[in-house]
Every structure is written in C-alpha cells, then in structure tokens.
Amino acid sequence: MHMAGLWARLAADLNVRLRRGAWYRITQLGPLQAIVEVRGRPLEVPSAFLQVIDSPPRTWSVVARPSDAVRLPQTWGDRYAVCPSCRGRQSIEGRPRTMACQRCGGEFKVTWAEA
C-alpha cells in the first residue's frame, strides 16, 4: 500500500541501517514490512520496529546513545539530538527548549517527553 505523507523512525534499539531518532519518508507500509526512503533509495524495514506519524516532524528528537554507536564523539555523553529538517546529529547541553541546527541552521523545539 502506498503511503503519501507518512513518516517513520526507528522505535527499537536495533541496527537496521536507520539512524536512531531520524525520521524517514514512508513509501510503502504493510503489516509486516515498510519501505522507507534513505538518501533517495528504498530500504525495507520490519513495520513492528517503527514509530509512524502522518506529518513531517517539527521538533528535535532526543536519543540515548546506542551502545554500538559509530562516529559519535565521546564528549557528547549519553544522549544527543537529531534535527527534524536535515537529520543532522549534535550534542545537547542542559535541557534547552529550542536548539538551532549547526548543519542546516533551522531552529526547532526540543521534544523532552521522549527522552
């Protein structure tokens, strides 16, 4: 089934070639599998491992540092934030209400309820 306008992110601490906390456009959603767009290419992911929303995200996601994290500076500590616009990752200091993305320049609220 084609799903225009749906977005998904990984809802489990699994290594399935998706960045934790980043949102991806869903191109197909079935009861067992979903196809999400990653860098312009389709990627099949088990639907049970996804959180699905019906509009593009507008807030930073706060993500616990995965035990198998690669390319994340140790200085970031046990959590980091993911930009809703460009999917860029960056460190979090304190508990800010909003943050500006160092990569795309967008400023968005931070979703602390998920942390």
pLDDT in tens, 44-103: 999 999 999 998 889 999 999 888 887 889 999 999 999 999 989 999 999 999 999 999
Q: What is the pLDDT of residue 25?
A: 94
Q: What pLDDT, on the 0 to 100 scale, is given for residue 4? A: 61
* Domain 7-53 CATH class label: mainly beta
On whether the CB atoms of residues 88 and 81 are closer than 8 A, the answer is no
Here the tokens at position 6 are 């749906």
In this structure, are residues 83 and 63 in contact, taking their beta carbons and an 8 Å threshold?
no
Residue 87 near residue 19, CB atoms below 8 Å: yes
Phi–psi pair at 18, nearest 5 degrees: -120, 140
pLDDT tens digits along 25-58: 999 999 999 999 999 999 999 999 999 999 888 9
- The residue type at 105: G
Q: Which amino acid is at 79?
A: R
Question: Domain boundaries in the chain?
Answer: 7-53, 59-114
